[in-house]
Structure 1
Amino acid sequence: MDYKPDINLKTTFDGVAKKYEEARLGYPDELFEKLIEVTEIDTEKSNLLEIGCGTGKGTVSLAKKGFKILGVEPGEQLAELARNILAPYPDVTIQTKTFEQVSQPPNAIDLIFSANAFHWVDPTVKFKKTHDLLKPHGYLAIISHERVADEKNDEYNRLSQVIFEKYIPGADFLYKHVKKISEMTPSDEYDHDLFELAYFGCFPVSLKGTTDQAIKLLETISHTIALDEETRNKFFGEMRELIDGKFGGIFEGINGSILTVLRAK
């Protein structure tokens, strides 16, 4: 929740929709079990809205449980992939639009959730509109991925950050100041007049992949998509040299899936 992105980059993902689906991480089932426990949503009565569903990485876990979900995704290619992936779940509807464009009756939604997309919403809208749409004491769940400090990955974090700063100045949100799980705390950057913190937790996931898989993932990051082709190729080349030369062509580490649940006042 602390990351403040360049809003102009929010549409870049649509051009790499297929690669996004193949390379981006999903979310652990335990995270959604905790979300259901905290919010007490149920499949018979609860209405859910997802902000920025992408290809359905976060949607599918709740869809499998039978929840009624309206997902909004501004990218046409991403939304179409999501419809195909979520076709087996008739209670899931995907609309090609931004959250700012959503038109729903006030006080009608039990849970609004967003997986790695809430930071793209207009900051003047995000908390007021979610609060307006939620039922009294409804919930807003913000899900994100963060690197987690561990012995295997700390050196990679340090060395790769040098390359990021060379080609993407200011991209410290990716690898700088990587924390241990015990050091992670909830962001205080939400509207305290409208919401209160109901839950915060980190769900670790072990990562291991080849250089090619690491590069494929980097190809789906908004900052790298926005680079000119020459600069992007140089950046990927140095990252490839780092992983192949220093780490034997294998990337290992721990990722933290962060769940922050806010309750509407």
Structure 2
Amino acid sequence: MTLKQAKDWYSTVASVHTSEQRKNWYSAAAEAYNQVRPRYPQQLINRAIELAKLPDEAIILEVGCGSGIATVAFADRGFSMICLEPNPEMCRLAQQNCIQYPNVKIVNTSFEEWHVEAKKFNAVVAATSFHWISPEIGYSKAATALQDNGSLILLWNAIPIQPPYAIYQLLQEVYQTYAPSLAEYEVRSTQEESISRFRTNSDRVRAI
């Protein structure tokens, strides 16, 4: 997704739903989200830490920590973390999931509302959450929070190649009822092209 596409997508969402509505979108599904949301492989977390050259005493700011799925993976490495989550139910679950990590602080607020602590953090992490932040605010605020040699670590879970069409047809009614925007079937070549484009854009970001 290009920066223009990100801005267009966010503008569309923000024009329809207020910030208060967006904060509470996942409240009813928080428990289910916590139980079934895919985890991030520890190998991926380790690779991100390696690329960012994070020292053992690194301080991490996490944007939109949800129920703490990625938080735990970083906390297991012993880092100190401040994690922002605007949804109260998700925040409660994150506090519960991170109770064994005394250096992890969960704050019930949005990144936009949070008072930025300039040049405090070695890394800003966002796991499947940064697209919810206005591009015009998110990148500049993350840059303000980072130390001069800090890193912005953006992670997403990619949906795997869709199942055979016969199985997809059986699920059509569910898609149409609960997620009509996902109802269009994508052939394998289309998804492979999307994944390839995402990889190319990621390489360009690293080069910058």
TM-score bucket (shorter structure): 0.7 to 0.9
- 2:34 counterpart letter in structure 1: E
The 1:157/1:13 distance shift into structure 2, 3 A limit, reads farther
With the length of structure 2 as denominator, give the TM-score of the two structures. 0.77
Q: Does 1:76 align with 2:84?
A: no
Give the corresponding residue for 2:112. 100
Moved more, 25-34 or 154-163: 154-163
Q: State the 1:157 CA deviation.
A: 8.1
Give the corresponding residue for 1:19. 32
Q: Does 1:171 align with 2:181?
A: yes
Q: Does 1:198 align with 2:206?
A: yes
With the length of structure 1 as denominator, give the TM-score of the two structures. 0.62
Give the corresponding residue for 1:192. none
- 1:65 counterpart letter in structure 2: R
What is the rounded CA distance, in whole Å, between the counterparts of 1:174 and 1:28 in structure 2?
A: 29
- 2:68 counterpart letter in structure 1: G
What is the rounded CA distance, in whole Å, between the counterparts of 2:184 and 2:152 in structure 1?
A: 24
Contact kept, 8 Å, 1:69 with 1:91, in 2: the verdict is yes
Contact kept, 8 Å, 1:161 with 1:175, in 2: the verdict is no
Q: State the 1:161 CA deviation.
A: 8.3
What is the rounded CA distance, in whole Å, between the counterparts of 1:173 and 1:135 in structure 2?
A: 43
More strand by share: 1
Q: Give the paired residue count.
A: 191
- 2:196 counterpart letter in structure 1: E
Give the corresponding residue for 1:232. none
Q: Does 1:58 align with 2:70?
A: yes
Q: State the 1:106 CA deviation.
A: 1.3
1:118-197 matches, within 5 Å, as 118-149=130-161, 153-155=163-165, 159=169, 163=173, 166-167=176-177, 171-172=181-182, 176=186, 177-179=190-192, 183-186=196-199, 188=201, 197=205
Q: State the 1:158 CA deviation.
A: 5.4
- 1:171 counterpart letter in structure 2: S
Structure 1 stretches of 5 or more lacking a match?
190-195, 200-262
CA RMSD of aligned residues (A): 3.1
Q: State the 1:67 CA deviation.
A: 0.4
What is the rounded CA distance, in whole Å, between the counterparts of 1:73 and 1:174 in structure 2?
A: 32
Contact kept, 8 Å, 2:116 with 2:144, in 1: the verdict is no
Q: State the 1:149 CA deviation.
A: 2.4
Contact kept, 8 Å, 1:43 with 1:68, in 2: the verdict is no
Structure 2 stretches of 5 or more lacking a match?
none
Structure with the larger RCO, 1 or 2 (CA within 8 Å, 6+ apart): 1
More helix by share: 2
What is the rounded CA distance, in whole Å, between the counterparts of 1:74 and 1:102 in structure 2?
A: 10
What is the rounded CA distance, in whole Å, between the counterparts of 1:48 and 1:100 in structure 2?
A: 17
SS in 2 for 1:89: coil
SS in 2 for 1:110: strand
Contact kept, 8 Å, 1:108 with 1:133, in 2: the verdict is yes
